[in-house]
Structure 1
Amino acid sequence: VVVTGSLVVLSFGSNGQVFATSAIRGVRFLQILRMLHVDRQGGTWRLLGSVVYIHRQELITTLYIG
């Protein structure tokens, strides 16, 4: 499913030789979705939560500046 979805996103998102940024973001989203689907015990969510918690100051600073 992910491979097919990736091919569809890349084919619709391509503009000649240059790939659109949205197409690359779409592929990235599909990869994240696959990672979350494979993990059935929620270890990915725990890892993601711990990374966000550890880097909360950097994230807040980025939100403030951006």
Structure 2
Amino acid sequence: MKNVYIVRLGDLYYKGIDASITNDYRYVMTDNLNDAILSESFDDVKKLAEDIGGKVYKVNLEKAE
């Protein structure tokens, strides 16, 4: 399987961006890994992690039998 990456900040995982009417945005985090966004692009995740002060982690996916 392909490698996927996730951004983690403390005990939270990156879930997405919430935009408002005033063109402001904020990062949405979750404490549940199943709700987090996984990415195959290490470079994209690394940039995001730098923006929010988090770290990139590689997630090992295995096929369920």
With normalisation by structure 1, the TM-score equals 0.26
More helix by share: 1
**Structure label with greater radius of gyration:** 1
TM-score computed with the length of structure 2 as normaliser: 0.26
